[in-house]
Structures are given as structure tokens and as C-alpha cells.
Structure 1
Amino acid sequence: MTGRRRRTAVLISGRGSNMAALLDAAADPAYPAEIVLVLSNRPGAGGLARAEAAGIPTRVIDHKAYDGRAAFDAALDAALEEAGIELVVLAGFMRLLTPGFTEKWLGRMINIHPSLLPAFKGVHVHEQALAGGVRFSGCSVHFVTADMDAGPIIGQAVVPVVPGESPDDLAARTLAAEHRLYPAAVALVASGEAALADGRTVYAGDAWTRVTLT
């Protein structure tokens, strides 16, 4: 771990609540990730205004303006390179990325998902959890690979399922856990205390304890 902060981009598609948690953490000069760009594929994403209010440069690359995923990903990659990005953090970024893009950024791009992976991938996660009758759910931070929600896990937070609660109830409590877990996981990757090696996550010392939340 060095004192230099890694230049980080946060990619969003919506309101950016996890982005806001990351911005709060990164406001500390000692935090190892410096958020230098918030980028959205949707011009009206609510998180853009929140980032601008925090003084973070923003950019929109509207996926609807491109003919296919490969063309969009090429534009996205160019924007990240132009900004000198070292770490890409997906925070509610609702686009499937091409294998070529994920391969280029392998080990330098992470995502958060609102379940205890590998359970309940994809969408409608909380409905899946309640329908499955699980007693615990939660959230997971993982390295992004070509397969959706399947990359090596960096950290997880456990959220008990309350009998009779709605998907919205579970989603709200899970989101609160995400806001604790994601800044901790981003810090580990940015500092080099968690890294991707030979298809799995490796940690420096007991760093994994900081991203194992209950």
C-alpha cells in the first residue's frame, strides 16, 4: 500500500445512493480511492446532480446513441482512458458489459449486488430471496468478469430476513448494508489489500475482516 490515491470512476444509471456513500468516504484525504469522475449512461440520472454538488466531474455517455453494446463500450473505455482512470466502480450501472471490456479492466473493476452471491443473481433479487424462504440475505462486492454477477467475491454483508416483510422492506435494509460494505471494499482494492489473482480474491493479512460484515 502506498500513499498515492488511485484515480477512480464511479459508473451509475440512477439515483446514485451507493455513489453518495463512496463520495462521503472519499472526502477523507486518507481514503485510498480518489473519485475523479462520475459517469452515467442515462442523461437524467439523479446521481449526476449529487456528484456535481460535491464538485466531482461528471459525464454522460448515452447508450441509446450507439449501435450495439460494443460501440457503447468503446466510447466508455475511451472516456475512462481520457480521465486516467485506474479503478472502475459500478454503482447501480444497469448495462451488461462486453467480454472485451471486462477483460481489459479485469481486476480493476468492481460491482455491488444486493444478495449473498452466488445466490439470487440478476434482477428482482429481493423477491427471489423471499420466495426462496431464506433466513438471511445481504449484499456482495465482487470483481467484474464477463459472466453477470459471477466474479470473485471481495466482501459480503449479511442482512437477516424478517418474517412477513415486503421486498421493499428487505431492499431498504440491504441498501443500508451496501452503504457500509462498498466503501470498505473499494478501499481494500484501491490500497492493494485485496486483489484478483489466478481467478480468486487474495487479501493482505486480515484485510478480509473489514469486508465481512454482519
Structure 2
Amino acid sequence: MSNRLKIAVFASGNGSNFTSIVDFSSHSQSSFEVVLLICDRPQAKVINRAKQAGIPTFVFSPKQYESKEQFESEIVQKLHVAGVQFIALAGYMRLIGKTLLEEYKQRIVNIHPSLLPKFPGKDAVGQALQKGVSETGATVHYVDEGMDTGPIIAQQSVPIPPNSDRDDVQAIIQQVEHQLYPQVLHELCKKVMEGAKS
């Protein structure tokens, strides 16, 4: 297993992207293995998904800390103990702060349900429907201090069928995300490992 990069997934909700990443990592060809779930919502469904997959979790409630710096410092400790080398955000509903960004420079990525820079932030699907656009998509990007502003790594567009509602569009995007994200993570982790060897 040592020839695979250890990654942590950060999630706040249902965790369908988390599951697609874990499923991908079970293939022998995968360049990464998921060793930890970080979750900021004690009631989130993703926690059960992690339990079923046998993946350790660190669940915290931000309200119990005095600052973002404080809970991020604890997260960094947990990541170090688990040997985490790379972070994938999958529906994690918090901006990443300086503590994590400095510790994992160019090693944190996110997936967002739009063709960035269009429709950043919350409810990207709702924003797209409101604008009446004929296509949207999914974007994998590096994470920086901003809201969905980091450099774009990969994108895939999704046509919005006429008369679609939010759930329809969400479902179409998620199908794309579940293919795109694990594949991009695989390529990125492979590059990190090759860089470490050279």
C-alpha cells in the first residue's frame, strides 16, 4: 500500500462524492487511498458512509472552538497522525483557512458544481437555473483563500435539459462529478508521487 498517496476527504453533507472517491481507491490501479474523513457536521450522512467503508473519521463542531485557526490546528494534527499527504474537498461547506493552506500548499483540491468562474459559492445549480443558461458543469480546482477562486485543473460541461428543476440538474452534475473527480485525483496523486521520487 505504500506506493499510494494517503488522502483525506473533507465533507459536510450526504457524501456521494466521498463514496465515489472511496470506490475508485479500492481499485488496485488507484494512486491514492482514503485514510481519513474530516466532517464539520456531526449529523451528516457522510459519517455513516465512512463507517461502512471502514474509514476513520474526525467529526467536529466549529462552534466548540474559539477560532478557525484553533479547529484547523487540530485538523492538521489529525492529518499528520494519519500520514495524510493530499486533501480532497467533497461538499465541505467551509472556506479553508491559512493554517491548512500553509500546511498543504498546492495539495488541497475541490469539486464545484458549475463551470467556474461562473456561479461560485453556494447553490451553483440554483444560480445557473436563475440565469437560464443552457449548460453548466463540474470543475475541479486547487483551493486558495477565496470562494472557488483557485486555479482550475479540469472541467466538464453538462447540458441543462429544457424544463429541468434543481434536482434534475443536480443529479446530472453528480453523475459527471462521480466520474471526473476520482480520475483527476488519481492523476494529481500520481504526479505528486512522481515528483517525490525525482
Same fold (TM over 0.5): yes
Alpha-carbon distance, 1:119 to partner:
0.4
Q: Helix, strand or coil for the counterpart of 1:141?
A: strand
Matched, 1:126 2:122: no
User: C-alpha root-mean-square deviation of aligned residues, in Å?
Assistant: 1.8
Matched, 1:33 2:28: no
Quote the residue 2:12 is aligned against. 13
Q: How does 1:43-62 map to 2 (within 5 A)?
A: 43-62=42-61
Worse-matched range after superposition: 159-168 or 19-28:
159-168
Quote the residue 2:183 is aligned against. 184
Kept in 1, the 8 Å contact 2:95–2:146? The answer is no
Q: How does 1:51-200 map to 2 (within 5 A)?
A: 51-192=50-191
Q: Helix, strand or coil for the counterpart of 2:128?
A: helix
Alpha-carbon distance, 1:139 to partner:
0.6
* One-letter amino acid of the structure 2 residue matched with residue 107 of structure 1: Q
Alpha-carbon distance, 1:68 to partner:
1.9
Quote the residue 1:210 is aligned against. none
Structure 1: how far apart are the matches of 2:14 and 2:128? 24
More helix by share: 2
Q: Deviations over 1:113-133 (max 9, x none)?
A: 000001000012112112222
Structure 2: how far apart are the matches of 1:191 and 1:90? 18
Aligned length: 193
* One-letter amino acid of the structure 2 residue matched with residue 37 of structure 1: L
Kept in 2, the 8 Å contact 1:61–1:76? The answer is no
Structure 2: how far apart are the matches of 1:194 and 1:178? 24
* TM-score (normalised: structure 1): 0.85
Percent of aligned pairs sharing the same letter: 38
| Displacement over 6 Å in runs of 4+ | none
Q: Helix, strand or coil for the counterpart of 2:78?
A: helix
Alpha-carbon distance, 1:194 to partner:
11
Quote the residue 1:199 is aligned against. none
Kept in 1, the 8 Å contact 2:109–2:142? The answer is yes
* One-letter amino acid of the structure 1 residue matched with residue 173 of structure 2: T
Structure 2: how far apart are the matches of 1:77 and 1:48? 19
Alpha-carbon distance, 1:193 to partner:
7.4
Kept in 2, the 8 Å contact 1:13–1:42? The answer is yes
Kept in 2, the 8 Å contact 1:61–1:75? The answer is no
Residues 116, 146 of structure 1: CA spacing in aligned structure 2 closer, same or farther, 3 A cutoff? Answer: same
Alpha-carbon distance, 1:154 to partner:
1.1
The answer for unaligned runs of 5 or more in structure 1 is 196-214
* TM-score (normalised: structure 2): 0.92
Alpha-carbon distance, 1:106 to partner:
2.0
Alpha-carbon distance, 1:103 to partner:
3.0
Structure 1: how far apart are the matches of 2:47 and 2:182? 19
Alpha-carbon distance, 1:53 to partner:
1.0
Kept in 2, the 8 Å contact 1:103–1:146? The answer is no
* One-letter amino acid of the structure 1 residue matched with residue 160 of structure 2: V
